């Protein structure tokens, strides 16, 4: 069942049941979805170019705006090339057919995003799961299933979206290098958020770019929509030639492509907001750790915690509502019985809004 309908008032407030509430939900980490430069670019493109090219990009559906967006992405992520398509959920499905012949075994984190497990299992290759964020179990599964001389592909989220935890990428990279393999990294929640330059979780972990395949989305930090693959010109060429998901899909709607260009241009000029958000996330988590919450000290701008039962969750929701904060309670499969409160900080939230969130959570747990 869909969640309650919300009307966005501005960059940090929503209207819910006729109340204006501070909003810490979603994944719009820099609130680019409502930035004037982005929305103006989108409206102008709709007027000038229409909504869609109504065709596959390998036939009649390619457009200069698609190529402009890919050039901006390649420049932002400091790669030779990039590719955009309909949705971040499809990114691994678009990528894997181009690289599948290089690997004999896919090793998948047991809690990986469904987009990764769906993509891995559509291939005619063995897929083995390993315990969540557990390098020791990853090594054990490699020894058990990988034949001598064959190459593995380690598949993981760069940031696990529900709780905001990070995989041990430096250890994974060492495992991959020792076995001649690589890492497929779904960096949807890390692009434009983590690393000194916002290049993603691999940059933050300090591993070599050539050890990974990076997929992601424009719908988080960039506030727009569409799937992303970054990499070499040769990799992108192979995807364009071999991926039927890409070949058979209509190109990204043109207003969204223009909005993506504008968002990337703004964040390229203002990369300092990426580091500022990381520092605010660390400081906010530290205050909540002092209040007794078990939170990892990472710069991921996600604060998540479960409640013991539905009654406790109800009391927390009411306390948040009383303070004028929308209670971002999610009930994904595998979350605690009382649900999971998940708050996404953004670079647009004020210090006062963050302090109020800490105060309410602190009081509830004291």
Hey, where are the domains in the chain? 7-29+271-365, 36-269
User: What is the C-alpha to C-alpha distance for residues 294 and 165, in angstroms, rounded to an integer?
Assistant: 12
CA atoms within 13 Å, Cβ hemisphere of 203: 17
How far, CA to CA in Å, does 326 sit from each of 107, 119, 270, 273?
38, 34, 29, 24
> In this predicted structure, what is the pLDDT of residue 3?
75
Question: What's the confidence (pLDDT) of residue 149?
Answer: 72
Q: Is 153 helix (H, G, I), strand (E, B) or coil?
A: strand
Task: Output the CA angle 203-139-208, nearest 5 degrees.
Answer: 20
Q: Residue 1: what pLDDT?
A: 63
User: At a CB cut-off of 8 Å and minimum separation 6, what does 78 contact?
Assistant: 197, 199
What is this structure's pTM?
A: 0.94
Q: For domain 36-269, is the CATH number 3.30.750.24?
A: no
Decide: 201 and 185 in contact? Cβ < 8 Å: yes
What the block records as the tokens of 13 is 């407030």
Of 168, 159, 204, give the one whose Cα is nearest residue 301: 159
Q: Which residues of 124-136 are buried (b: 16+ CB within 10 A; e: fewer)?
A: eeebbbbeebbbe
The CATH number of 7-29+271-365 is 3.90.1150.10
Rg (CA), the chain: 21
Q: Tell me the pLDDT of the chain (366 aa) as tens digits.
A: 677 788 999 999 999 999 999 999 999 999 999 999 999 999 999 999 999 999 999 999 999 999 999 999 999 999 999 999 999 999 999 999 999 999 999 999 999 999 999 999 999 899 999 999 999 999 999 999 987 778 999 999 999 999 999 999 999 999 999 999 999 999 999 999 999 999 999 999 999 999 999 999 999 999 999 999 999 999 999 999 999 999 999 999 999 999 999 999 999 999 999 999 999 999 999 999 998 899 999 999 999 998 888 888 899 999 999 999 999 998 776 667 677 999 999 999 999 999 999 999 998 877
Calculate the CA dihedral of residues 20, 23, 28, 34 and round it to 10 degrees.
Answer: 20
């Amino acid at each position: 069942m869909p969640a309650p309908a919300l009307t966005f008032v501005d960059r940090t407030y929503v209207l819910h049941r006729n109340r204006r509430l501070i909003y810490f939900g979603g994944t719009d980490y820099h609130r680019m979805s409502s930035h004037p430069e982005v929305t103006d670019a989108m409206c102008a493109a709709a007027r000038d170019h229409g909504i869609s090219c109504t065709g596959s990009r390998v036939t009649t559906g390619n457009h200069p705006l698609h190529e402009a967006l890919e050039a901006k992405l390649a420049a932002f992520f400091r790669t030779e090339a990039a590719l955009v398509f309909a949705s971040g959920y499809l990114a691994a499905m678009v990528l894997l057919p181009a690289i599948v012949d290089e690997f004999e075994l896919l090793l998948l984190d047991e809690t990986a995003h469904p987009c990764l497990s769906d993509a891995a299992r559509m291939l005619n290759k063995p897929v083995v799961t390993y315990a969540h964020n557990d390098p020791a179990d990853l090594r054990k599964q490699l020894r058990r299933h990988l034949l001598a001389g064959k190459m593995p592909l380690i598949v993981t989220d760069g940031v696990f979206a529900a709780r905001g935890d990070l995989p041990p990428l430096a250890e994974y990279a060492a495992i991959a290098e020792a076995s001649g393999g690589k890492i497929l990294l779904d960096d949807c929640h890390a692009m434009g958020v983590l690393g000194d330059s916002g290049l993603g979780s691999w940059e933050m972990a300090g591993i070599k770019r050539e050890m990974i395949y990076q997929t992601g989305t424009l719908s988080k930090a960039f506030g727009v929509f569409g799937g992303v693959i970054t990499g070499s010109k040769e990799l992108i060429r192979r995807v364009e030639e071999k991926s039927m998901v890409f070949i058979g899909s209509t190109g990204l709607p043109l207003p969204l492509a223009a909005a993506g260009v504008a968002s990337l241009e703004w964040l390229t000029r203002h990369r300092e907001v990426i580091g500022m958000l990381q520092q605010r996330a660390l400081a906010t988590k530290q205050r909540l750790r002092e209040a007794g919450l078990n939170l990892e000290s990472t710069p991921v701008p996600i604060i998540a915690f479960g409640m013991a039962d539905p009654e406790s969750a109800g009391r927390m929701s009411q306390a948040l509502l009383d303070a004028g904060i929308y209670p971002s309670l999610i009930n994904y499969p595998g979350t605690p019985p009382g649900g999971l409160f998940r708050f996404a900080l953004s670079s647009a939230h004020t210090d006062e809004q963050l302090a109020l969130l800490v105060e309410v959570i602190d009081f509830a747990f004291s």
